[in-house]
Structure 1
């Protein structure tokens, strides 16, 4: 059993101010394609207040008490729903939610636009749900610089850095993501019961899953397969400190149909909740070599 529903379903309803050929233009296009969280290129005036406000990733890393507040909100919700809120469960969920911000932004733009934003903590922001379970329901990419292919119509723009091919673009996404996650790991391991290995396993899960989701949200087997191909391109093997190559594989569902699934690298610790068991694909239940 798992209470993890990833990003909340949300539809973008605002309008982005775009520059033809720029990164905001890309974000405007992908905003209508994704389903897991609102994604935008700006912060609303005022940014909201209290629960549900927009926070830059840099703010969360510079002031870890904000991450503690996030965990406290989740703990309150878990106690209301399940009667208890184990520290490892709240730490793991907030870890996964945070890591999906750079992973989701990078995966969407790579898959749909063949562009990679810088993914710096100062250039990403997240909004958590104002009521109920405080998972992310919005992501903002504030930076304007991006990496792209020679064929990109915006490749001549001053904020564009052109790379040779798709493999090079995948390398850039992996490197930019790892640079962001390195800052998160340094902060979060000091304030949570999770060690560095668990945090990097969570980072691997977030990147692999978000690349898969970017294709799967297209609703067809072909688009889902394209997302899996992106995950294989970015995580074709293990690149330390990430903990594995892509673990996406096919399996048979209860109706005998072949579907995509993946083996998790990290544990969400949902099994610590009353009446819960390990999730499918949990590393705790993986046979030992």
Structure 2
């Protein structure tokens, strides 16, 4: 971990330019290290972008989003169960703050504020209506003392990696709490289920940030750092562990806390690691 941190610090210092070095520079650097969504600095003029704050302030917008998903699922499967659409939308939304936070923690050792007012998402215009773009609208961030941008007015310095992990956990949980409160008004999912989905999103995104960037083990280590134990209302510590695939190879996997309800679609079955499978096996 010390070697990895030294490499990050050296790369970050080398790329920082006089008078720059803020969050926008970090976002531009990490954007090319992943392919899950377009990352933007500020709100682009093109595309159907929705500020997260607007969605949380007007939960009926989630209902419209679920209707679009229901149309897509019905075209493919002939049906769109309410719990399935509700779970998909919850997971997609929660990955927006989780993935931004995970990417910047992993690659830059920075954590943005992650407030709903400072994030926006773009829903894919064709095909599956999942978020295919994330925009970061704010400039403030938390960082380590060694960060070359630590003297910037928008930077808040914390003591070490452990403190930075705690900031990510707190900022993400604050955003997730606002989502849970808003989404419960318009979905059939309860608070426990939504907090389980929030836990899955954060744990998975920390893992993906490392894997997408070429160092899966470091992503797993970040997940263990941020979710070293259960921090309520999140429902568990990181559940990442080694496992054997169907082909017999050993690799990283995780036990899900929430169910996506894909098994309700015709011809579909429970996902690997689904909590429903564990409950049935233990009964």
TM-score by length of 2: 0.91
Alignment-derived partner of residue 194 in structure 1: 189
Alignment-derived partner of residue 71 in structure 1: 66
Task: Say if 2:264 is the partner of 1:272.
Answer: yes
Q: How does 1:240-279 map to 2 (within 5 A)?
A: 240-279=232-271
What secondary structure, in the 3-state scheme, does the structure 2 residue paired with 1:40 have? strand
Task: Say if 2:221 is the partner of 1:226.
Answer: no
CA distance in 2, matches of 1:218, 1:102: 18
List alignment gaps of at least 5 residues for structure 1. 1-18
Cα distance, 1:132 vs. partner? 1.1
Question: Which string of whole-angstrom CA distances, capped at 9 and with x for unpartnered residues, describes residues 211-232 of structure 1?
Answer: 000000124xxx0000000000
Change (3 A) 1:86 1:255: closer
CA distance in 2, matches of 1:44, 1:203: 27
CA distance in 2, matches of 1:93, 1:215: 23
Return the match for 2:204 from 206, 209, 218: 209
What secondary structure, in the 3-state scheme, does the structure 2 residue paired with 1:261 have? strand
What secondary structure, in the 3-state scheme, does the structure 2 residue paired with 1:66 have? helix
Give the 4+ runs in structure 1 shifted more than 3 A: none
Q: How does 1:135-154 map to 2 (within 5 A)?
A: 135-154=130-149
CA distance in 1, matches of 2:267, 2:137: 42
Cα distance, 1:65 vs. partner? 1.4
CA distance in 1, matches of 2:218, 2:100: 17
Return the match for 2:90 from 86, 90, 95: 95
What secondary structure, in the 3-state scheme, does the structure 1 residue paired with 2:185 have? helix
User: 1 or 2, which has the higher helix percentage?
Assistant: 2
Alignment-derived partner of residue 283 in structure 1: 275
Question: Which string of whole-angstrom CA distances, capped at 9 and with x for unpartnered residues, describes residues 21-57 of structure 1?
Answer: 1000000000111111111111112x53xxxx00000
Task: Say if 2:47 is the partner of 1:43.
Answer: no
CA distance in 1, matches of 2:35, 2:90: 21
Return the match for 1:123 from 104, 118, 123: 118
CA distance in 2, matches of 1:181, 1:192: 15
CA distance in 1, matches of 2:207, 2:185: 31
Cα distance, 1:81 vs. partner? 0.2
List alignment gaps of at least 5 residues for structure 2. 1-18
| Root-mean-square deviation (Å) | 1.3
Task: Say if 2:228 is the partner of 1:236.
Answer: yes
TM-score by length of 1: 0.89
Alignment-derived partner of residue 23 in structure 1: 23
Cα distance, 1:254 vs. partner? 3.1
What secondary structure, in the 3-state scheme, does the structure 2 residue paired with 1:125 have? strand
CA distance in 2, matches of 1:215, 1:285: 28
Count of residue pairs brought into register by the alignment: 264
